[in-house]
Structure 1
């Protein structure tokens, strides 16, 4: 389905959009600075602006506003966005979407996506700046492999012990980005250490888990928490870790998290016997897939919670490296979590991207298997990707 109106103009008509943008920016700035439960006056400008604009929106609707910042944070933790007294388009939020996680008071993925979609804050564009810097450095050196290994490192190794950091420091493939790596891996605070003096890494998303008072663990990834209690992967004794490092939060949110879906898809396609290149031509797109007969797919993987935001971000897949078919792909569990996900994406994508199909990763693997089967049986390939 293709939207009959301009999605950008439709969203701009709703006065609640700027407020949600301001709120999301404030919450991510506050989290990066001190954590939402630790704050003092004067508040950062973005935070004071969010409090003032929320109060104004409530007064215009005849609703009692949050009296102070703790009240506003309570709203963000307990009150679904759809229930706020603001004017929002129908697909701006689902019925249970919150801006802060009720258990940890940390910004949700939806909150980060609101902030990333609309903000021009230097803090919130940090992840893009780092990736652009890595691309520039690797191009200057003429080392495409260095960029590929840089991206893979951020996806598969968001946590490093001192010994692991040393091994990376002597890996000459990464020479173009060594200085950058020193800036983006930062010391881990003691809040991640359990009383028995060890850290734990999530077995699903590979980020550090936060210990809870009841003895459990909390994972910062919304997608991971929806799958149940986080499985503990490796445990790291504090005395053996040296100075434990982890990627900064924006990179964990926008590079490590989505990158997990990319490398998981890489593994599944490779297991089918296909030739796979990751982030080809300095990240023109995510996955370059070559079939035995030379047919090529270009795949961009998008692990987004909000389908309308994903639709608004849709764009044609770059033409280089060349390919025969191109797809955007989203993890199946994203679609399972939000009914009508793909239809919402299609309604919100701009006209220039109306030919960019969105498939789940399961659908893409099924298409790959079917194509391999047709090739093995000598069936001529149809060029219509929807056939």
Structure 2
């Protein structure tokens, strides 16, 4: 947002309310520190002297508590314990009602890794030093594919990031020989990173059978999946097992892209599969990703769908914007996975409260609701056709 006017067109009506709460910048500072340091060292390995951003997060948390007359965390380990064990809603900090849910944590209790909520808070930081790397990568891919006039290259790039976040040495070689991906080959070399040995158990890596990302081995012999959505469905099923000797130099997509491209992309391709199974014509990421799903019914009517797999409904509402009109469509929707709504009471209402005025007409459905709407419409068309054939 570049406008300095709080009453500017399209801005969320509650923006002054959010800006007035000192806990908002605190949460952004803390989440940014946790996610950056998790990428570098892991949050359990902080040592004195603390990096400046971590010390700043601790200092601001202490100040916020003192201003409220509450006992602050006495050290960084104690602050990390708050992040891991104490829902943010119970912190003595000033936050608006929609900022967090009653059970939201910044660190996962099992692994001490940042939760998806933490990553979403970090993305809200607006810090130019860490500015939305996932978006920069996607915009770079779009630019390269447009320069080459290769829309198919972008579609295959996006599908690769969604369906193959982990590559063995042999798979990496196969990707390097895929000429469809030529416009983005250099970019792929930058965003697929060597997997550290911390993912190994007994000389073998394991990928999640649901979300396809690598699982983290836990001390008790179990496995931890980085996707909140996956963990809510129970212990992660082990999918591919990749012995280190057979996999060669294993590569994994970097975390910002796993978080904001692979994760939501799983919801996109799952929706694609459901709609295709209904017999509908589905085109993914059309016109260089103007929106996610272009759905055509037998009578030629088109729906445009943007899939948003966000943990935080207020953030999603504040990001709401009309679906672009190219390629043309008859109706447009934003769609969120059903389990997101099931896990967060009032999800849709919170989204709607935080929408800017410019997106008041944007409809948010769950993937279940959208599929059912499509099924009913398709059944109606088939019924009309049968009636027409009978009348003829």
Q: d(CA) in 2 for partners of 1:201 and 1:121?
A: 33
Match of 1:308 in 2: 314
- Which ranges in structure 1 are unaligned for 5 or more consecutive residues? 380-387
Q: Is the 8 A contact 2:193 2:254 kept in 1?
A: yes
CA distance in 2, matches of 1:175, 1:41: 46
Q: For the residues of structure 2 that align with 1:28 and 1:245, how far apart are their CA atoms?
A: 20
In structure 2, the partner of 1:53 is: 60
Q: CA deviation at 1:31?
A: 0.8
1:89-143 CA-partner distances (Å, limit 9, x unpaired): 1111111100000111111011111111233243351111111110111111110
Match of 1:385 in 2: none
Q: Cα distance 1:323–1:4, how it changes in 2: closer, same or farther (>3 A)?
A: closer
Q: 1:290 to 1:80 in 2, by over 3 A?
A: same
Counterparts of 1:5 and 1:284, CA distance in 2:
23
Give the C-alpha shift of residue 13 in structure 1.
Answer: 1.8
- Indicate the RMSD between aligned Cα atoms, in angstroms: 1.4
The answer for unaligned runs of 5 or more in structure 2 is 1-9, 386-392
Distance (whole Å) between structure 2 residues aligned to residue 356 and residue 251 of structure 1:
26
Distance in 2 (CA, whole Å) between partners of 1:177 and 1:116 is 25
Q: Tell me, yes or no, if structure 1 residue 162 matches structure 2 residue 148.
A: no
Q: Confirm or deny that 1:140 pairs with 2:119.
A: no
- The secondary structure found in structure 2 opposite 1:122 is helix
Whether contact under 8 Å (2:12, 2:355) holds in the other structure is no
Measured against aligned partners, the alpha-carbon deviations of 1:15-36 in whole angstroms (never above 9, x if no partner) come to 2111111111111111111110
The size of the alignment, in residue pairs, is 376
> Does 1:332 find its partner at 2:338?
yes
Deviates more, 1:32-41 or 1:262-271: 32-41
What is the CA–CA distance in structure 2 between the aligned matches of 1:122 and 1:271, rounded to whole Å? 44
Counterpart of 2:190 (choices 183, 186, 195) is 183
Corresponding residue of 1:298: 304
1:359 alignment counterpart: 365
Structure 2 equivalent of residue 228 of structure 1: 234
Question: Are the aligned partners of 2:209 and 2:240 in contact in 1 as well (CA < 8 Å)?
Answer: yes
Q: Report the CA distance between 1:354 and its aligned residue.
A: 0.5
1:102 matched residue in structure 2: 109
Structure 1 residues 124 and 70: CA distance shift in structure 2, 3 A: farther
Which residue number corresponds to residue 205 of structure 2?
199
2:134 to 120, 124, 127: 127
Which of 277, 295, 309 aligns to 2:283? It is 277
Aligned to 1:78: 85
The alpha carbon displacement at 1:162 in A equals 0.1
Q: Take 1:335 and 1:193, find their aligned partners in 2: how far apart are those partners?
A: 34
Q: Distance in 2 between matches of 1:121 and 1:252?
A: 21
Structure 1 residues 38 and 124, CA, compared in 2 at 3 Å: closer, same or farther? farther
- Cα distance in 2 between the residues matched to 1:320 and 1:46: 42
- Normalised to the residue count of structure 2, the TM-score between the two structures is 0.94
CA distance in 2, matches of 1:341, 1:200: 33
2:329 to 323, 326, 339: 323
2:219 paired with 1:218: no
